[in-house]
Amino acid sequence: MTTTAPAPTGTPPREAGRRRRRGAAHLGRRDTAVLAAMLGVPLLLSLALVWGPALLSVALSFTRWNGVGELTDAVPVGLENYRQVVTNYPPFWPALQHNVVWLVVFLVLATPTGLLLAVLLDKELRGTRVYQSAIFLPVVLSLALVGFIWQLVYSRDQGLLNAVLGTDVDWVGDSSINLWAALLAASWRHVGYVMVLFLAGLKGVDPALKEAAALDGAGEVQVFRHVTLPSLAPTSVVVLVITVIEALRAFDLVYVLNRGRNGLELLSVLVTDNIIGEASRIGYGSAVATILLVVSLGVIVPYLVVVLRERRGAS
């Protein structure tokens, strides 16, 4: 008579929790110090370089200050800066509209294109590494350098595009088309960024799930929809946040092309013009920056809330 060994089972969650707590209790002083440094230093840097200036900008948006002298010289004006920005600042509404268009194009066109390229290149086709390098190359370039490159492409007299098409179009100076020209240049860089992120996420998808779905008769599209795409949910959150940030902080590219004027107004350009321009209206520029912050949070926060609720419900 033979004895059958019991089937291996997974560790119960409660036992796993006990093991983690015992492991944490056995940390030495050096381990604790290393963990504290690894968590504390980034946290302090984030507070000092991100949240501190952001909160200070929000506070300054309710004041009138020219940036000269002490912060105590700032005069509280309540919501006056916001009222003037909304009612008496002609570039504001076009800039807000352009930012929204920028965000929509990134979300609807550039990001799905990056996902499509990632899925195709994940199939290990011939020359995949070459394609990955070529598509990712713009990401290593700064947006300012991207702007200079596309200036050469869009130049009216000696530009590559007019030479190829045999036209005489002022791609940067014509306010009816220069936003779309700038979006094409920005998407050229953003697609490579998104592609790399999704490629990293695709490497984490369990091939056994795809094979099981294929054995059950699922087609390639169904496997992508019901297996691959849900597995990419954590990556999608990161991509969404990065996409929103990239779309709303766009500045370098349009500033290089035509200093963000004549059809290329963006909120980030208005912030710069008011804060470090000749006007030096710190409170006014901070009000525009706060509006930009609210727009960013208005897109990111609801999505994160939905995703976290779904994960909590699934667990």
CATH code reported for the domain at 93-314: 1.10.3720.10
Using only C-alpha atoms, what is the Rg of the chain? 25
Most confident segment among 101-115, 244-258, 270-284: 101-115
pLDDT for res 296: 83
pLDDT single digits (tens) 217-238: 888 888 888 888 888 888 888 8
Examine the pLDDT at 109 and tell me if it is beyond 90. yes
Task: Compute how many other C-beta atoms are within 10 angstroms of the C-beta atom of residue 315.
Answer: 6
pLDDT single digits (tens) 263-289: 889 998 998 888 876 667 888 889 999
Give mean pLDDT, residues 88-106: 91
pLDDT for res 3: 42
Burial classification of residue 258, based on how many CB atoms lie within 10 Å of its CB (0-12 exposed, 13-18 middle, 19 or more buried):
middle
Examine the pLDDT at 17 and tell me if it is beyond 50. yes
Percent of the chain with pLDDT over 90: 28
Per-domain boundaries in the chain: 93-314
| Cβ-proximal residues to 255 (8 Å cutoff; 6+ apart), any chain | 144, 147, 269, 272
pTM of the model: 0.78
Comparing 109 with 302, the larger pLDDT belongs to 109
